[in-house]
Amino acid sequence: MSGGMSKIVKTISNISFPLVLIYGLYIIAHGHLTPGGGFQGGAVVASGCAMILVAYGSIWTMGKIKEKHLSILESLGAIAFIGLAFLGLIFGFVFFKNFLIGEGLIFDNPALGLSDIYTAGIIPLMNFAVGLKVIAGLFAIVLVMAYATTKKEAETK
Amino acid sequence: MIYNIPFIAVAALVLIGLYAVVFKRNLIKIVIGITLIESGVNLFLITLAYRQDSTAPIWHGITASSNNVPFMSLPVPHALTLTSIVIGVAVLALMLSLVIHIYRHYGTLNVNKLGGDEE
Amino acid sequence: MMSKRTIAGAIFFSIVAVFLVFSALMTHSFGNPDETEMDQYIIDNSQGEVGADNSVTGVVFDYRGFDTLGEATVLFTAVAGVILLFRRLKK
Amino acid sequence: MNIEQILDTLLRHSPALIVAIPLLGAFLTPLISKINDKVRNVFVILTILATNFFIFLLASDVFAGNIHTYVFGAKNLSIPVVRILFEVDGLSAFMAIIAGILSLAAVIYSWSFMKENTGLNKFYTLMLLMTAGMLGMMLTGDMFNFFVFLEITSIASCALIAFWTNKGKAVEAGFKYIAISAIGALFVLFAIALLYAQYDALNIAVLANNIQYTFLDKIALVILIAALAMKAGIVPMHMWLPDAYGRAPASVTLLLVGATQASLYGVFRVCFTLYGSQLNSTLRNISGTTITLNSLLGTIIVILAIVTILIGVMMALKQIDFKRMIAYAAVAEIGYMFLAVGAGLTTLGTAVSMNALKGGIFHIINDALDVGLLFLVAGAIYYATKQTSLNNMGGLARNMKYTTVFFLIGLLAVAGMPPMNGFASKILIYESVYQVNPVLSIVAILCSILLLAVFIKVFHSAFLGPEQPDLKDVKEVPKSMLIAMGLISCIIIFFGLFPELVVNNIVQPAANALASNTSYISQVMGVI
Amino acid sequence: MISLDTLLETFKTGSGLWNPLVWITGMAIAFLIAYILRGYGKKEYKEKTEQTKSFLSGNPEYEKEKMHIKGSNLYWGFMESLKWFYKIFNKMHTGNVTDYVLWFVIVMGILFLLVGVI
């Protein structure tokens, strides 16, 4: 696995990776309307990244992206998530308040004619934050474990 | 009574997992047992959510005011199952990485051949 | 010849098994739970209060949003733990 | 907006902020640590200090007698309770104080204790996450949320136990801990699902309001008590505890003590609050003597506690590894709390019960401080000599004067010698348990004497005696470790000198919260 | 904050006979008595005579490092007399995850029997 797999696998994964990516992003974006959400879509995208990892081998992938960048990305997603909760504390005076719904800020505002759009307030934003977090997190786990094991094999060889 | 077959399946899953943890000697099998227990608990939560001839709790294109509102299954257990699945993934990742380290140190996965806790 | 451990394990394991299966039989019959106050409230009001068509997402991110924060924290913890375990030991 | 209003606002939001601030700090730590290490350490310490400020702000108001509830995502709670509540009564605030003190000491201690190691960014992140998990377990009023925070605590502490991955035993201890805690947490979730299946509620107060003690409730009660007692290290489910405590870095062990007591808090919460409405219900009459639920549960807990004390002390007496010995002593100390609370449960509603509960709860904080101080001393000795086995030590008192003094303080406190806080709580336990059954009290006193013998052994073989040839160039440990140990020993001596003050102001509200759950329920359900 | 009479309260014996002043003064008196007795003994003590040398029943005296009793040698008699106890409990403590879980199952079964039947 250290050297990656055959050319067929690499080509197929190259072709199918964007589709997986788009499908996962679709699931994340429609989390409040259709089945799915940040975690599910993030898992889909992370599995796509894991496919690339399996096809090209962990050493090549580690050369492309380090796990510390992934952990930075993940903590950014987590900070965005908890930051939205703190914004609820600031705007809605309650921690985790869905401050875009029913507060007449932007949505649910008859004057703007946006009252009957089911935008779910901050839920899509939270979905994106969690999606970013799950993508980075799961891919970091898979990458680190795969890299550690392959490095061990390379040492024994 | 006979309708409780899913719950009996839940009990069976939990018990199989517990059996694997108690009576198996291989660390990987122990990990598999723990994940079996976890999937049993998740199955329990999901079966609690089901109501006879009910649809998924999604208001697609209808509102509470509109007529022919469908009979929906319970949404809370779905959310709990989602949470517990993600938690299970996290625990599994950590357990497997510890198993990798143990294999590096002791060169075996047999529980009896590990160091034990008595010096 | 079974060891003492196996015998004790079998006995107590079967006791636990009997009680768990009994509890499975004692649960409300599959498919029709009792009157559910909390879930019915969520089903009826999630669209209006949260604005999400998907009631499950409404529960996950609004009604029980703090659980979701904890869940995200669990994933964060696992990633930190795995990276910690596979770190380089030399400076 | 004057200071009064600001304090009032902070007080209203403090239950959420106590958990949210360490979480935010943990999420920010990977970014902060890009700057440099000193900034990161200062940031972590400041985060813990802010958390402690909110903890004491909240506790000072809760001990005045009013229960705080915080609804996440809504201005005021609605019936049915669909949102997650934080409900802080005397017991929760009491435990939160313990967690705050322990985490502060642990973070200060690890500044110089962990200096030589790599991967410190993740280390501090996990420390903060573990603190947040403990605090969430202690403050939450929602069963499933309790499970989530239980998992956060277990995962973070598992990764920290296996911190020294170049040692096989540390990794093995980490695997044992994660396996045990995963199984325990999964069974807790199973019990929560059983409760949800019947009452369609997850809030503790709502469940406690309409719990019926049906067959499924019996199953759930047993599973909850067994799983949480395993996490709390009750004999015979204690065996993961010496491994985990003995192999982890000392500052992590200090936090593990807090995590163990959070599980202990879970047991008490389940027995006294969740099933509190049914405690007086008669189960059956056997030849005239009526067996009520509280007597049954109390007897079970007392038997477990006596076995725990005996085996913990006896096993501690034969250990030669310093940290394992303290770990077994910690098992015995947990047995004392269980003994007192079980005795209080058997005789619920009497003056004896109130004294027993007070003794047990007072012993929780004393045990956390004493055992924590001893673990810090063990870590200091390891830092100075790189030895853990008592056979390789000797004459350390010559070079490590302050450490010796701190060890003496911890020794006297753990063994329950005056004028330390261990005596103040143990004599409460002895007195009240004696009125329940004299034999229990006698066994407890004898085991306390044996506990003294255990640490006399450590004191003799590690600190006294001639200077060993390979320990000639041992230095005193750095300042931050001394500061952490001094902080804890100051609290120990203060509690030992003014026990009545502590009992009346801090322990009494917690004991009242245990004794009756009506106020806990009525806070959510309105006046019943 | 802490007023004076509350501090004085703590010196009264509340629940539990607990008075730090009594204990501390008692210890001081004990130390005083010990010091006085030591003063008596000091008169018969002569420097640089046979008295000061330690006498190991005629054997030569070891050097200082060897005189230290190691941790595992302490309480030898106690361990020896309780060999049977420690034999059982060392067998119980197999550092083995599956055994730990087995103990959990055993306790859960016993509690099931106790709580479920009664």
Q: Which of A35, A138, A141 is the closest to B56 by Cβ?
A: A35
Contact D423, D415 (CB under 8 A): no
Chains interfacing with C (3 or more CB pairs < 8 Å): A, B, D, E
Nearest by Cα to D394 from C39, E72, C80 = E72
Q: Which CATH number fits the domain that encloses residue B19?
A: 1.10.287.3510
Q: Is the peptide bond before D466 cis (omega within 30 degrees of 0)?
A: no
Radius of gyration of chain C (CA): 23
Q: Do B96 and A145 touch (CB under 8 A)?
A: yes
Task: Check whether E61 has a pLDDT greater than 90.
Answer: no
Question: For residues D64 and D259, what is the distance between their CA atoms, to the nearest angstrom?
Answer: 27
Cα C20 from chain centre:
17
C81: nearest CB among D83, D126, D133: D126
State yes or no: chains A and E have 3 or more CB pairs below 8 A: no
In the numeric block, the tokens 């001839």 are attached to B53
- Residue D528: other Cβ atoms inside 10 A: 8
User: Which tokens hold the place of D59?
Assistant: 């506790």
Q: Given E23, E71, E97, which is nearest D419 (Cβ)? A: E23
Predicted pLDDT at D168 = 87
d(CA D65, CA D509): 7
Count Cα neighbours of A156 within 13 Å in the Cβ-side half-sphere: 8
Write out the DSSP string of D313-324: HHHHHH--BHHH
C74: nearest CB among D155, D194, D200: D155
Q: Please enumerate in sequence order all residues whose Cβ is within 8 A of that of D326, keeping only pairs 6 or more positions apart, or say none.
A: D245, D316, D371, D374, D375, D378
The string over B12-26, giving b where at least 16 C-beta atoms fall within 10 Å of a residue's C-beta and e elsewhere, is ebbbebbbbbbbeee
A91 neighbors A99 (Cβ within 8 angstroms):
yes
Instruction: Assign C54 to helix, strand or coil.
Output: strand
Q: Find the DSSP H helices in C1-91.
A: 4-26, 37-50, 55-58, 65-85
**Residues of chain C contacting A36 with CB distance shorter than 8 Å:** 54
- Locate the DSSP E strands across D48-197: 68-71, 85-88
Query: Distance, in angstroms, between B25 CA and closest chain E CA?
Result: 8
* Residue C48 confidence class, pLDDT cut points 50, 70, 90: confident
Smallest Cα–Cα separation from C85: which of B41, D316, A149?
A149
Domain boundaries, chain E: 75-118
User: Cβ contact (<8 Å) for B87 and D202?
Assistant: no
Query: Chain C residue with minimal CA distance to B63?
Result: C47
User: How far apart, in whole angstroms, are the C-alpha atoms of residue D179 and residue D190?
Assistant: 17
Instruction: Mention every residue, 6+ apart, whose C-beta is less than 8 A from residue C15.
Output: E109, E112, E113
Q: Please report, to the nearest 10 degrees, the dihedral formed by the alpha carbons of residues D170, D172, D178, D179 taken in order.
A: -160
On chain C, the residues whose CB falls within 8 A of the CB of A140 are: 79, 82-83
Residues A39, A41, A42, CA angle at the centre, nearest 5°?
60
Task: Tell me which residue in D13, D16, D27 faces A78 most closely, judged by beta carbons.
Answer: D27
**pLDDT exceeds cutoff 80 at E55:** no
| D-chain residues near C83 (CB < 8 A) | 119, 122
Per the structure, the complete domain to which residue B77 belongs is given by 2-51+73-110
Burial A42-78 (b: 16+ CB within 10 A, else e): bbbbbebbbbbbbbbbbbebbeeeebeebbebbbbbb
CB contact under 8 A, E20 and D496: yes
Residue B113 DSSP class: G
The chain B residue lying nearest E91, using CA atoms, is B118
Chains that touch D (3 or more CB pairs under 8 A): A, B, C, E
Chain D residues in contact with B21 (beta carbon < 8 A):
179, 183
Distance between B84 CA and the closest CA of chain C, angstroms? 8
* Exposed / middle / buried, residue D438 (Cβ in 10 Å: 0-12, 13-18, 19+): exposed
Tokens of B100: 């990798």
Among D416, D415, D421, smallest CA distance to D458 is for: D415
Is the Cβ of D75 closer than 8 Å to some Cβ of chain A?
yes
* Number of domains within chain B: 1
Size of interface C-D (CB pairs under 8 A): 111
Contact between chains at C15 and E99 (C-beta distance less than 8 A): no
Residue range of the domain that includes C73: 4-90
Which of B97, B98, B111 best tests the C interface by mutation, with the highest count of C CBs <10 A?
Answer: B97
Question: What is the three-class DSSP state of D389?
Answer: strand
Phi and psi at B28, nearest 5°, equal: -65, -40
Distance from CA of E59 to the nearest CA of B (A): 35
> How far apart (Å, rounded) are the C-alpha atoms in residues A89 and A84?
9
The pLDDT score that the predictor gives to residue E11 is 43
Is B61 among the domain residues? Answer: no
Percentage above 90 pLDDT, chain D: 58
Q: Which residue has the tokens 């329940």?
A: D436
Interatomic CA distance for residues B103 and B114, integer angstroms: 10
Q: Do B95 and D239 touch (CB under 8 A)?
A: no
Q: Do E101 and B18 touch (CB under 8 A)?
A: yes
Q: Which residues of D touch B14 (CB under 8 A)?
A: 190
A67, pLDDT greater than 90: no
Give one DSSP letter per residue of D463-523, joined into a string.
ISSSPPGGGTTPPPP-HHHHHHHHHHHHHHHHHHH-HHHHIIIIIHHHHHHHH--HHHHHH
Q: How are beta strands D282-286 and D68-71 bridged, if at all?
A: unpaired
- Give the distance from CA E113 to its chain's centroid: 39
Q: How far is CA E57 from CA A135, C26, E52, E53, in A?
A: 77, 78, 15, 12
pLDDT, tens digit (0-9, with 9 covering 90-100), for B1-42: 567 888 999 999 999 999 999 999 899 999 999 999 999 999
Shortest Cα distance from E9 to chain D (angstroms)?
A: 7
What are the extents of the domains in chain A? 7-156
Give the span between the Cα atoms of A69 and D118, in whole angstroms: 18
Give pLDDT, residue A155: 58
Of D73, D132, D155, the CB nearest to C81: D155
What Å distances lie between residue C10 and B19, D116, D228, E103, CA to CA? 9, 49, 23, 12
Contact with chain D for residue A94, Cβ under 8 A: yes
Residue type, D381: I
> Which residue of C14, C19, C22, C23 to mutate against E (max E Cβ within 10 Å)?
C19
Measured between beta carbons, the chain B residues lying within 8 angstroms of C30 are 3-7, 47, 50
Instruction: State how far the Cα of A82 lies from the Cα of D131, in Å rounded to an integer.
Output: 17
- Say which residue, B118 or D144, is predicted with more confidence: D144
A67 touches chain D (CB under 8 A): no
Which chains are within 8 Å of A by 3+ CB pairs?
B, C, D
A97·D74 Cβ contact <8 A: yes
Compute CA distances D376 → D390, D405, D464, whole Å.
16, 13, 19
Strand partners, E59: E56
- Write down the pLDDT at residue D95: 94
Residue E44 neighbours by CB distance under 10 Å: 7
Q: Is residue E113 less than 8 Å (CB to CB) from chain D? A: no
Give the count of alpha carbons within 13 A of D153, CB side only. 32
**Contact criterion met (CB below 8 Å) for D465 and E69:** yes
C-beta atoms of E7 and D296 within 8 A: no
Cβ-Cβ contacts under 8 Å, B5 against chain C: 30
CA pair distance C44, B64, nearest whole angstrom = 7
Structure tokens at D136: 């969430």
CB–CB of C27 and D126 under 8 A? Answer: no
Interface of C with A (CB under 8 A): 47, 49-54, 56-58, 60-62, 65-66, 68-69, 71-73, 75-76, 78-80, 82-83, 86
CB D259 within 8 A of CB D130: yes
Compare CB distances from B116 to E95, E101, E105 and report the shortest one's residue: E95
Give chain C's domain count.
1
Query: What angle in degrees, to the nearest 10, is found between the helix axes of D215-232 and D168-199?
Result: 160
**Which residues lie below 8 Å from residue A6, measured CB to CB, with a gap of 6+?**
none
CB-based contact (8 Å) between D73 and chain A?
yes
Report the amino acid identity of residue D433: V
Element (DSSP H or E) covering residue C63? none
Task: Output the CA–CA distances (angstroms, integers) from residue B10 to B56, B97, D167, D307, in the order listed.
Answer: 22, 28, 39, 34
Q: How far apart are CA D161 and CA D253, in angstroms?
A: 8
- Report the predicted TM-score, pTM, of the whole model to 2 decimal places: 0.93
**Could you give the count of Cα atoms lying within 13 Å of D387 in the half-sphere of its Cβ?**
15
Contact state of C54 with A118 under an 8 Å Cβ cutoff: no
Cβ distance of C15 and E109 shorter than 8 Å:
yes
Nearest to D365 by CA among D298, D265, D513: D265
Q: Using a CB–CB cutoff of 8 Å, tell me whether A88 touches chain D.
A: yes
Instruction: Report the residue of D152, D153, D163, D189 to disrupt the B interface, i.e. the one with the largest count of B CBs within 10 Å.
Output: D189
**Which residue in this structure is represented by tokens 């909110």?**
D54
CB pairs under 8 A between D and E: 150
pLDDT tens per residue across all 528 residues of chain D: 788 998 988 898 999 999 999 999 999 999 998 888 899 999 999 999 999 999 999 999 999 888 899 998 887 777 788 889 899 999 999 999 999 999 999 999 999 998 888 889 999 999 999 999 999 999 999 999 999 999 999 999 999 999 999 988 899 999 999 999 999 999 999 999 999 999 888 999 999 998 888 899 999 999 999 999 999 999 889 989 998 999 999 999 999 999 999 999 999 999 999 998 888 888 878 777 888 888 899 999 999 999 999 999 999 988 888 899 999 999 999 999 999 999 999 988 888 888 899 999 999 999 999 999 999 999 999 999 888 888 888 888 888 889 999 999 999 999 888 778 888 888 888 888 888 888 998 999 999 999 999 999 888 888 888 888 777 888 888 999 999 999 999 999 988 888 888 888 899 999 998 888 888 888 888 755
Residues of E in contact with B24 (CB under 8 A): 98
By C-alpha distance, the chain C residue nearest B10 is C24
At D263 the pLDDT is 93
